Amino acid sequence: MNRSRFSLSRLCFWLGIGFLYAPMVVLIVYSFNSSRLVTVWAGWSTKWYGELFRDEQIMNAVGRSLQVAFYSASTAVVLGMLASIVIVRFRRFRGRTLFSGMITAPLVMPDVIIGLSMLLLFVAMAQSIGWPPQRGLLTVWIAHTTFCVAYSTVVISSRLREMDQSLEEAALDLGATPVRAFFLVTLPIIAPSILSAWLLSFTLSLDDVVIASFVTGPGATTLPIEVFSSVKLGVTPKINALATIIIGVVSLVAFGSWYVSRRIDERNRAAARMAAEA
Amino acid sequence: MSEAPKVKRKLDLSRLPGGRRWVIGAPYLWLAVFFLLPFVIVAKISLATSALAIPPYSAMFEWAEETLNIRVTLSNYFWLLGDDLYIKAYWNSIKIAFNSTVFALIIGYPMAYAIAKAPSHLQTTWLLLVLLPSWTSFLIRVYAWMGLLSNNGLINQALMGIGLTSEPIQMLNTNFAVYIGIVYSYLPFMVLPLYANLVKHDDSLLEAASDLGARKWTSFFRITLPLSKNGIIAGSMLVFIPVVGEYVIPELLGGAETVMIGKVLWQEFFNNRDWPVASALAVLMIALLIVPIMLFHRYQNKETGV
């Protein structure tokens, strides 16, 4: 085993990190370029941020996307939690294979297939039962919730599986009802994973362009669709400014949630230790 | 030894309000209606013909003059299989997906290995460093390469600056750009399962090998690499399957030579408004991906007991 500080794999790691971050750094630097030409440096300026915030079309799309992402993530986490309980705790029931297949398949299924199939479902449903009446944010919410359930389940179930079940058993032995035991013991323990699942679903929904393009309707353009149509025409500094804001917010939230979930973990572990000693 | 029989009480969720049926039913129903049923409809519409109507395809069942007419046609499939363009698109997608998976594996494996071998207090932070880019917008990361690879982009400027080339090299709108974009976007999905696998390896095996005189590289190829088979399969499937149907990257970074099936499906649907042909393309794509998806599913089962 190699324990030296400079090994080949470490060199590869840092090169890989450079590969992953260099384009983003360039993107951020050029968002402060005062020239309209993205390739010519003409001094520092924040005017593209001003232009971005004055762009009503983009700002409206941001609002819509945040709304859809919020609702999709919240629904997906609830369904994902139930699905995790089913997968981890109910070892045997009819249709289990199909169920676990429906959890894994959305993780890898190409977006164009999910988008197309969902749209055709909505069209067929509107034709036969008259619902959903029109395509828009509602249909985007359903579509996003569906693939986010899969991701939420993977995140939450891995935590639920690791969890020490004797804590639940202790609560039951002490006379708690199963419902109380679930809400007072199980839920707090899997809380960090629910938070990460929510954040993951939120970012996935905020990021999706292909599925939303298929299932959305008039007047419900989400941010990625807006960005995609402007990016297809070429590189503009306004998009660089938007990208910088997104990267900034994501980094903040990622480090924040990493910190919080570590704290919750530590607290839980300390509580468990105290309980064990007592 | 007289030990009181311990009463094992399990958290029995069937006693939750609504019971077991409700806990299983809610996610099951949602996925069945919104994930499974759509595929049935896609398969059905792939057997219809395109029509000037809303929605733009012919109905499968028609009730007229006390006769039930069922119209099913395989013409879309014959059309797809008879046209070189589509065959080429499928072949190209598989080739590009396969090659980029190999590139991602070559770059990702040492990275995952480095994280797994790092001191344990550093591992989470390093992993976060790798995963962070994948949480920022996918679209924006592809967009970043548009600026870098264009003819007057930073890379060409640098190449000309150091005198390697006198005029810009065409990189944007080529397959090269598509490969860069794919490997760049999907690298974190390769690293994560590889790390999850490598971190569980028992170091004592390597110590035993080295005690028996094996060299570092020998023990890597004979112990670590075979043991990480599951991680390699999972990472590769996480890259290969979605890339086969990738649309955004070939659209933004690729050129006329980059014919990929996701792009063709998109054009059939949005530009030609031929829903039945788009559906048939989707059905054939699923047929192509069903084995890799099952492989991935089996890994998930093995690794996590899903």
Question: Domains of chain B, with CATH numbers?
Answer: 15-20+23-70 (no CATH), 80-304 (1.10.3720.10)
What residues are paired with A106 via a beta bridge? Answer: none
Residues B6-12: contacts with CB under 8 Å, at least 24 apart:
B7/A173, B8/A169, B9/A169, B9/A172, B9/A173, B10/A165, B10/A168, B10/A169, B10/A172, B11/A89, B11/A165, B11/A168, B11/A169, B11/A172, B11/A178, B11/A181, B11/A182, B11/A186, B12/A178
Q: Is residue A46 part of a domain?
A: no
Across the interface, do B31 and A102 touch by the CB < 8 Å criterion? yes
How far is B82 from chain A, CA to nearest CA, in Å? Answer: 22
> B65-69, B188-192, B261-265: lowest mean pLDDT where?
B65-69
Q: Is residue A120 part of a domain?
A: yes
Q: Is B238 helix (H, G, I), strand (E, B) or coil?
A: helix
The answer, yes or no, to whether residue B56 has pLDDT greater than 90, is: no
pLDDT at position B277, please?
93
Of A181, A213, A235, the CB nearest to B147: A235
CB B178, CB B97: distance < 8 Å: no
Q: Is residue A17 part of a domain?
A: no
Q: Which residue has the tokens 């944010």?
A: A137
Q: Is residue A111 part of a domain?
A: yes
Q: Is residue A4 part of a domain?
A: no
Percentage helix, strand, coil for chain B under 3-state DSSP, each rounded to 5: 70, 5, 25
pLDDT at position B304, please?
56
Nearest C-alpha in A relative to B300 = A104
How far is A45 from chain B, CA to nearest CA, in Å? Answer: 19
pLDDT at position B3, please?
46
The answer, yes or no, to whether residue B168 has pLDDT greater than 60, is: yes
Of A26, A112, A234, the CB nearest to B266: A112
Contacts of A88 in chain B (CB under 8 A): 305
Nearest C-alpha in B relative to A124 = B41
Across the interface, do A231 and B252 touch by the CB < 8 Å criterion? yes
pLDDT at position A38, please?
65
| Sequential pLDDT tens for chain A (278 residues) | 444 556 888 999 999 999 999 999 998 988 888 887 766 777 888 888 998 999 999 999 999 999 999 999 999 999 999 999 888 888 777 788 899 899 989 999 999 999 999 999 999 999 888 888 888 899 999 999 999 999 999 999 988 988 888 888 888 889 888 888 888 999 998 988 998 899 999 999 999 999 999 999 888 899 999 999 988 887 788 888 999 999 999 889 888 877 877 787 778 778 888 887 76
How far is A270 from chain B, CA to nearest CA, in Å? Answer: 18
Across the interface, do A123 and B55 touch by the CB < 8 Å criterion? yes
Q: What is the CATH number of the domain that holds A221?
A: 1.10.3720.10
Gyration radius (Cα) of chain A, Å? 23
Contacts of B60 in chain A (CB under 8 A): none
Rounded average pLDDT over B116-141:
88
CB B242, CB B296: distance < 8 Å: no
CB B292, CB B240: distance < 8 Å: yes
Q: Whole-number mean pLDDT of chain B? A: 87
The answer, yes or no, to whether residue B305 has pLDDT greater than 80, is: no
pLDDT at position A102, please?
92
Cα gap B243→A111, rounded to integer Å: 10
pLDDT at position B1, please?
41
Strand stretches in chain B, DSSP E? 61-64, 67-70
Across the interface, do B279 and A116 touch by the CB < 8 Å criterion? yes
Nearest C-alpha in A relative to B59 = A124
Domain containing residue A112:
56-277
Across the interface, do A85 and B32 touch by the CB < 8 Å criterion? no
Q: Is residue A249 part of a domain?
A: yes
Q: Is residue A38 part of a domain?
A: no
Across the interface, do B293 and A82 touch by the CB < 8 Å criterion? no
Across the interface, do B27 and A228 touch by the CB < 8 Å criterion? no
Q: Which residues lie closer than 8 Å to B255 by C-beta, 6 or more apart?
A: B172, B173, B174, B175
Write out the two tokens for B221. 């190829």
> A208-217, A261-270, B21-30, B151-160: lowest mean pLDDT where?
A261-270
CA of residue A196 relative to chain centroid, distance: 8
Question: Is the backbone of residue A234 left (phi > 0), alpha (psi -120 to 50) or beta?
Answer: left
Size of interface A-B (CB pairs under 8 A): 289
Contacts of A224 in chain B (CB under 8 A): 137, 139
Across the interface, do B296 and A104 touch by the CB < 8 Å criterion? yes
- pLDDT band for B101, please (50, 70, 90 cuts): very high
Higher pLDDT among residues B165 and B43, named by residue:
B43
Most confident of A85-94, B184-193, B216-225: B184-193
Q: Is residue A250 part of a domain?
A: yes
pLDDT at position B303, please?
65
The domain total for chain A is 1
